């Protein structure tokens, strides 16, 4: 079974600075998807960024980018120019590429709580 590990329960960053959240995963599959979701105090799960394992290029969405290291099974999230609205729990998630039975589920890490210091 796949597992996702987020080793940083809490992180803080000064407003306008850059912060990197770590995520590692364990899988025997060669193709899969990885996601970062954000959960602000409203509890809504919001997609931040996604990455297909077969793509070598790291995904980027405005101030958010990932460092995907397939061999190391590492998928870190970098937030540049941090803003107060970035304060939230951030979850890393894995999903199998294969759409066979039982492979649709997202496996989540335990989350990292990000605090932005004004």
Closest to another protein by CB, 5 or 12: 5
Among 29, 46, 55, 117, binds another protein (CB under 8 A): 46
Q: How far is the CB of 95 from another protein (least distance, A)?
A: 7
CA dist., res. 110 & res. 31, Å (int): 23
What is the spatial distance between Cα 42 and Cα 116, in angstroms, rounded to a whole number? 17
Check binding of 11 to another protein (CB under 8 A): no
Please identify which residue in 43, 71, 85, 118 interacts with another protein, judged by CB under 8 A.
Answer: 43
Separation CA 32–CA 96 (nearest Å): 5
Rounded to whole angstroms, the Cα distance separating 114 from 10 reads 6
Question: Among residues 7, 47, 83, 117, which is the contact residue for another protein, using CB under 8 A?
Answer: 47
- Among 3, 105, 115, 117, indicate the residue that binds another protein (CB under 8 A): 105
The closest of 63, 67, 85 to 23, measured between CA atoms, is 67
Q: What are the structure tokens assigned to 71, written together?
A: 């061999």
Binding site for another protein (CB under 8 A): 33, 35, 37, 42-47, 50, 91, 95, 99, 101-102, 104-106, 108-111
């Amino acid at each position: 079974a796949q597992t996702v590990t987020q080793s940083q329960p809490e992180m803080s960053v000064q407003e306008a600075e850059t912060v990197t959240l770590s995520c590692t995963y364990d899988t025997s599959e060669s193709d899969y998807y990885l996601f970062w979701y954000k959960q602000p105090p409203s509890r809504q799960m919001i997609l931040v960024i996604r990455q297909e394992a077969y793509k070598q290029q790291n995904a980027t969405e405005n101030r958010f980018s990932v460092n995907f290291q397939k061999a190391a099974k590492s998928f870190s999230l970098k937030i540049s120019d941090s803003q107060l609205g970035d304060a939230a729990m951030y979850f890393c998630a894995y999903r199998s590429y294969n759409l066979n039975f039982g492979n649709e589920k997202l496996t989540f890490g335990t989350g990292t709580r990000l605090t932005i210091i004004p």
